């Protein structure tokens, strides 16, 4: 059975694909049925001969990565072609911070920034303050407007959401990362702080909500529960979820949210996908989305340049358990 690329992308093979093994017949049945969640039958302890599709038949197969797919399959003979292709599409066949690329469309609202895809050192988006009543920091206008709308909706439900850290320039991230290096080993720091160029905060699309400390146990709060249920409605995703550390390269950060727009956010949050998984599953013929236009700014005077000459609020003072991705 051939599964149209658009159908497969809309269903998105979600995380168990990477932890288990898919059979092609089960995947075909699932796609035909249109189930919202992946059934247990999709996972088998080993590949079933004759059922797994050839790599070239997968919608998310990318010919330019054929050599890496083959090497990954050879290193993991018990994996299906689908698992190997997804793994390589996410770059996970290489150690973090090796084989890196410079992001070509940093203004895209769905830009993927991680330990393989780095922002240019001189990239500085146009940002605006989130507003004193919404916390501290600045975001790109569309993300700032979405955060204010989300915070207003949460407030109506008795929940307080405030930004504690948002846009951060390349230079500020470099300073932050080096500060942590003076206190901890690089192997440890890399699990909770991004190297300069690899921080989502530089996009102006990410922010830390209410806290930025593991000691705060934000995941146990009503605010976190509210965000888990509603953040996608406003275009945000939990960027570094629990159980996906091997994919994102960062420890669980219940406070770190990223604006990607409502459509992508709903897919990611409904399916439990990281942004890495979302893009790894995109059909090969689809290119990365062009930069989406910013929403019209009703008050142009509030928009400020993110260039170094503009005053920027200082980073929160670090404590031993406060990661600054």
Catalytic residue flag (residue 276): no
For 67-110, give the secondary structure using H, E and C. HHHHHHHHHCCCCCHHHHHHHHHCCCCCCCCCCCEECCCCCCCC
Of 64, 128, 233, 253, the catalytic one is 253
Beta-carbon contacts of residue 53 (< 8 Å; ≥ 6 apart): 24, 81, 82
| C-alpha 299, offset from chain centre | 30
Query: What six digits make up the tokens of 183?
Result: 């206190």
CB atoms < 10 A from the CB of 184, how many?
15
Q: Which of 228, 247, 288 is nearest to 106 (CA)?
A: 288
Q: Which of 192, 164, 212, 200 is nearest to 274 (CA)?
A: 200
Q: Which of 123, 103, 110, 146 is nearest to 291 (CA)?
A: 110
Annotated catalytic residues are 253
């Amino acid at each position: 059975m051939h599964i149209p690329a658009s159908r497969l992308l809309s269903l998105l093979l979600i995380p168990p694909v990477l932890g288990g093994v898919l059979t092609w017949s089960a995947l075909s049945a699932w796609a035909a049925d249109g189930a919202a969640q992946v059934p247990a039958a999709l996972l088998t302890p080993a590949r079933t001969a004759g059922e797994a599709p050839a790599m070239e038949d997968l919608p998310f197969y990318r010919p330019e990565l054929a050599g890496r797919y083959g090497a990954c399959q050879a290193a993991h003979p018990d994996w299906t072609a689908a698992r190997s292709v997804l793994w390589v599409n996410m770059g996970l066949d290489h150690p973090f911070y090796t084989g890196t690329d410079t992001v070509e469309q940093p203004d895209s609202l769905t830009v993927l920034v991680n330990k393989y895809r780095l922002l240019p050192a001189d990239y500085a988006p146009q940002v605006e303050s989130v507003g004193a009543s919404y916390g501290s920091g600045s975001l790109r206008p569309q993300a700032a407007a979405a955060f204010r709308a989300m915070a207003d909706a949460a407030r109506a439900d008795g929940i307080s959401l405030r930004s504690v850290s948002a846009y951060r320039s390349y230079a500020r991230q470099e300073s932050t990362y080096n500060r942590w290096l003076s206190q901890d080993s690089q192997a440890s720091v890399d699990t909770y702080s991004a190297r300069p160029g690899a921080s989502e905060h530089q996009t102006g699309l990410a922010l830390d909500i209410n806290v930025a400390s593991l000691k705060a146990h934000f995941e146990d709060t009503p605010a976190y529960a509210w965000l888990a249920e509603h953040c996608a409605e406003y275009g945000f995703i939990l960027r570094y979820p629990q159980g996906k550390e091997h994919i994102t390269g960062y420890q669980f950060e219940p406070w770190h949210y990223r604006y990607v727009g409502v459509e992508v956010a709903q897919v990611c949050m409904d399916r439990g996908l990281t942004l890495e998984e979302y893009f790894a599953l995109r059909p090969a013929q689809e290119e990365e989305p062009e930069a989406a236009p910013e929403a019209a700014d009703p008050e142009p005077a509030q928009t400020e340049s993110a260039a170094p000459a503009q005053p920027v609020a200082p980073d929160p003072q670090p404590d031993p358990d406060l990661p600054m991705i």
